[in-house]
Amino acid sequence: MRIELTVRDQEDMKTLATTLSKRLFPGFVLCLEGDLGAGKTTFTKYLGKGMGITDTINSPTFTILKIYEHDLPLYHMDVYRLDGIGADYDLEEYIYADGVCVIEWYHHIYDSLPDDKLIIDIAIRGATERHLTIEGTGVYEDIVKALDR
């Protein structure tokens, strides 16, 4: 299942992330793609807020992984720098775990990802407008439907 959405502004992005935050489950894998500044980290911040996480969520670009312990833990990765390195820093320990795993630049570790996952591709259309392609297989199909509007 695959849908395309136009997101007007950051508030609109927040609405979408909040909707998704109510449908997460242990082992959830969310893959994000999009140019620098597209809004991958911003989306994750809103998702975390929707999950009830009160810690400040900021970019894991330099650390690769940030862990937010919570009822449903959030594992936030930015694997941009792992491209071509081959090593996966034991990230699979978090990808196949009982939390929610959000991976920015997921293509860089594609082989380490499960077959079923939710993928959101964010394209920049203007200062605040974004075009989203959302794709999900298996248990994620219903989630894609829930995000449609």
Ligand X SMILES: Nc1ncnc2c1ncn2[C@@H]1O[C@H](COP(=O)(O)OP(=O)(O)O)[C@@H](O)[C@H]1O
| Positions that interact with ligand X (CB under 6 A) | 7, 9-10, 13, 34, 36-42, 59, 104, 128, 130
| 124 is a contact residue toward Mg ion (CB under 5 A) | no
Residues 6+ apart with CB under 8 A from 84: none
In degrees, rounded to 5, the angle at the alpha carbon of residue 57 between the alpha carbons of residues 30 and 27 is 30
Encoding tokens for residue 98? Answer: 């009982």
| Position 40 contacts Mg ion (CB under 5 A) | yes
For 27-50, give one letter per residue: b (16+ CB within 10 A) or e.
Answer: ebbbbbbbeeebbbbbbbbbbbeb
Which residue lies nearest ligand X, judged by its C-beta? Answer: 39
Smallest separation (angstroms) from Mg ion to the CB of 141 = 27
99 SS3 class: coil
Partner that binds at residue 82, options Mg ion, ligand X, none, CB closer than 5 to 8 Å by kind? none
Compute the least distance from the CB of residue 74 to ligand X, in Å.
15
Q: Which is nearer to ligand X, 10 or 137 (CB)?
A: 10
Per CB under 5 A, residues contacting Mg ion are: 40-41, 59, 104
